[in-house]
Structure 1
Amino acid sequence: MSRLLISRNPELQRLINEGFEIEIRSGYLLVHSVPYATSNKQVAHGVIVSELTMATPDVLGRPSTHQVHFIGEHPCKADGTDLVQIRCQSTEFKLAEGITAQHHFSNKPKCGYYENYYEKITSYVRVISGQAKALDPSADARTFRTREPIEENSVFLYQDTASSRAGIQRLAARFCQQRIAFVGLGGTGSYALDLVAKTHAAEIHLFDADMLRPHNAFRFPGAISREILDRGITKVKYLSEHYATMRRGIVPHEVMIHVDNVMELARFDYVFLCADRGEVRHLVLRALADTGVTVIDVGMGLNLSHDQESIWGTCRVTVSTPSTRDIALTRIPKVDRDEELYASNIQVADFNCLNAALAVAKWKRMSGFYLNDHDEYETTFSVNLNQLSRLEQQ
């Protein structure tokens, strides 16, 4: 991916042609061997780290910020005093796996922005290395050394610059070893998949045998064309094809989960249980009771008011871990009432989306991506009360 970006972006190629030692890793542009003056009037070498903003998956846009990070000591003037001209903040910045910076610099041009990355990098190099040249005229960031690109095993077909721009690549990588399963890909399941597919989860397996029908188009994220509906394909086939344009690792299984195949779920780290039948939920929970799998069950029930002028109801997220198996079973509806609510067919995309977002947020908290101050096993939202509540173990 680094080679492709360099070959399609003249500004990066120009940096290489002029001798700068650049590397692209985890959505960042790294410029190595940048000489700078230290507080004891010596010349040392550090690394400038810049975000990368993409106009298309292969072509850079204009830098989104005039700031950079720096790996090394804080650069000084030739007399050993701090180079306060660029000082912004100094602390430990864990940007991505293997990329930890110590400083954040700001060198804003008069117009307020850099037109391209060549301009941005050479501007910082001039400011930082100019003081080193005063101590040693041979000090130069243009080493003409090449760095072999690190081929990262990303599931994505293009750089995840959303994480690098936010400085959360290291946190985003916490999902990269996980294997996820979805049981049921209706309205809530499809929205949950949409959110999980945009993480670095290694594998995402989809279990559902239902055909893709016109009513699904009104409950799924995005828009489904009539041409796709006319193909007569399953929901999981459509979803796997749709997300294959962005990433690898989504595997469709055109089957329903039943007693003969339920133990296939034991090989996953997390199972999102989005089925609309109570007996399937309980089958999965009981089958996985003695495993280490975390099951995140979602459910919603919407009802017409007595005067049939409005809708009320709740959505629920219940988590079953090895320590909450028994209590989770008591909280998840088994058959009758839950299936009656689904049979009434009152589902709306915004509630499907909310239910999914609550489930995915819980998964991310359990994975350490979000701070997790409360270890609740169930969260519910009431639409008519506009109230979110949680249940925790006593």
Structure 2
Amino acid sequence: MSPQPTNPNPDLNRLISEGYEIEQKHGHLIMHGVPYVTEDREVRRGKLISELTLAGNRTTRPSTHVMMFAGARPCDRFGRPLQKIINSESPNRIAEGLVAQFSFSSKPSCGYFGDYYAKMKTYADILESQAQAIDSDVTARTFRVIASSDRDSPFHYVDTASSRAGITSLSKKLETEDVAIVGLGGTGSFVHDGLVKCPIQRIHTFDDDTYLQHNVFRSPGAASVEDLQALPKKVHYYADMYGKMHKGIHPNAVRVTKDNVDLLRPMDFVFLCMDASPDKKAIIDALTAFGTTFIDVGLGLDLVDGGLIGSVRITTSHAGNRDSSLQRIPLGGLGDANLYDRNIQVLELNALGAMLAILKWKKLRGFYCDLEGETSTVFNVDGNHLLNEALPCIRSVA
């Protein structure tokens, strides 16, 4: 028997101590080696697969009584399908190498299972009881422990959001090695907030500015007075915040310029969230030479008749549209006409630009369907219009 893993959860520890083969994988709880009966009255072993609801690394009450099952159609001792618990019969690809053929439903009288011990054991007992009617020695309590395979995850804890939604397999498409955010102002900080929830191995941030009081009002989270008095660099402030969740954050307290743009050469993808400047053209030229796909995010506002008008723009640049995309990206200074440069508070527009950029990145990764293949998107504030333009484009980036 393998050494038992350390687990802070009494319900999972009880399953392990009683000899059940328990594994936490892809945000799910799996019980291996569960005996059941086939239509030919053969005793085989299958897998019970449950969503796994966690608070940090601790289990909470299961969010559903439904259970998934990997194996042939389960039957009673006479070879009749267990229609009382079979809820549906349709292959469900949870993740690579993990496919459930059935879902079960056996709701307790109170309407829910109190913990995962009760949930897993209830379904194991139903299947096992029919198998033991044919072979009295068979049991799900094999005392074989399987170590978790999520040790290489970029997260400090399991992504149960994907497992609860049934999109673990889709989320795998967002796995990539190195993604950079150039500029951690209002927009870049929201891009950072979105990317740390994705299974990216390393997120590199570049900004040499100090995190100041005005930054708090157009960025995610809420800094304390003590945080601000410490005068942290933006990259370090966010690294400390998001490092509680993501292991692979690499802060760089430098401003990317034409002289150090080689810092971006190793990146698989780049989000440009910087103001227009002479260096921006050099950075874009370098990313083009590197063959790096990037998304540029811009925002512009004007004060007219006592109200703000303006737009949010995202432009995607890749091998198929370099010249045309460059025409959509402002490169020179915008001067005093752009109120955003005077730190006007536009948190909702910062967040919108960031989310549009992440949405497009996820389309490029194949997470979302991309019917139009738009590579330039502009949101006009005053008319609430979202305008797309399809420059020569690609559908998916592997």
1:170 and 1:338, CA in 2 relative to 1: closer, same or farther beyond 3 A? farther
2:183 maps to 184
**Counterpart selection for 2:331 from 334, 357, 361:** 334
1:85 and 1:15, CA in 2 relative to 1: closer, same or farther beyond 3 A? same
Tell me the matched-pair count. 389
1:5 and 1:300, CA in 2 relative to 1: closer, same or farther beyond 3 A? farther
**2 CA distance for matches of 1:6 and 1:26?**
18
The alignment's TM-score, normalised by the length of structure 1, stands at 0.94
Q: Which amino acid aligns with 1:378?
A: S
The alpha-carbon deviation at position 109 of structure 1 amounts to 1.1
SS at match of 1:379: strand
**2 CA distance for matches of 1:274 and 1:339?**
19
1:114 maps to 113
Does residue 384 (structure 1) correspond to residue 352 (structure 2)? The answer is no
**2 CA distance for matches of 1:182 and 1:360?**
11
1:135 and 1:339, CA in 2 relative to 1: closer, same or farther beyond 3 A? farther
Q: Deviations over 1:197-223 (max 9, x none)?
A: 111111111111111111101011010
The alpha-carbon deviation at position 292 of structure 1 amounts to 2.5
Does residue 320 (structure 1) correspond to residue 303 (structure 2)? The answer is no
Q: Deviations over 1:186-244 (max 9, x none)?
A: 00000011000111111111111111111101011010111111112211111111111
**1 CA distance for matches of 2:42 and 2:6?**
33
The alignment's TM-score, normalised by the length of structure 2, stands at 0.93
1:146 and 1:336, CA in 2 relative to 1: closer, same or farther beyond 3 A? closer
Q: Deviations over 1:273-303 (max 9, x none)?
A: 0001243332221112233311100001111
Contact 1:175 1:202 in 2 (8 A): no
**2 CA distance for matches of 1:375 and 1:339?**
35
Does residue 39 (structure 1) correspond to residue 36 (structure 2)? The answer is no
Matches within 5 A, 1:147-296: 147-150=146-149, 152-296=151-295
**2 CA distance for matches of 1:166 and 1:205?**
28
SS at match of 2:176: coil
SS at match of 1:331: coil
1:104 and 1:6, CA in 2 relative to 1: closer, same or farther beyond 3 A? farther
Q: Which amino acid aligns with 1:59?
A: R
Q: Which amino acid aligns with 2:310?
A: G
Please, which runs of 5 or more residues in structure 1 have no aligned partner? none
Identity %: 42
2:396 maps to none
**2 CA distance for matches of 1:125 and 1:132?**
11
1:98 maps to 97
The alpha-carbon deviation at position 67 of structure 1 amounts to 0.8
The alpha-carbon deviation at position 317 of structure 1 amounts to 0.5
Q: Which amino acid aligns with 1:134?
A: A
**1 CA distance for matches of 2:352 and 2:148?**
41
Over the aligned positions, Cα root-mean-square deviation in angstroms equals: 1.8
1:358 maps to 356
**2 CA distance for matches of 1:343 and 1:130?**
70
Q: Which amino acid aligns with 1:95?
A: I
**1 CA distance for matches of 2:63 and 2:218?**
35
Contact 2:26 2:150 in 1 (8 A): no
Q: Which amino acid aligns with 1:33?
A: G
Q: Which amino acid aligns with 1:52?
A: L
The alpha-carbon deviation at position 351 of structure 1 amounts to 0.7
The alpha-carbon deviation at position 5 of structure 1 amounts to 7.6
Contact 1:320 1:328 in 2 (8 A): yes
The alpha-carbon deviation at position 347 of structure 1 amounts to 4.0
**1 CA distance for matches of 2:346 and 2:364?**
28
The alpha-carbon deviation at position 4 of structure 1 amounts to 9.4
Moved more, 330-339 or 235-244: 330-339
SS at match of 2:58: coil
Moved more, 245-254 or 283-292: 283-292
Please, which runs of 5 or more residues in structure 2 have no aligned partner? 393-398
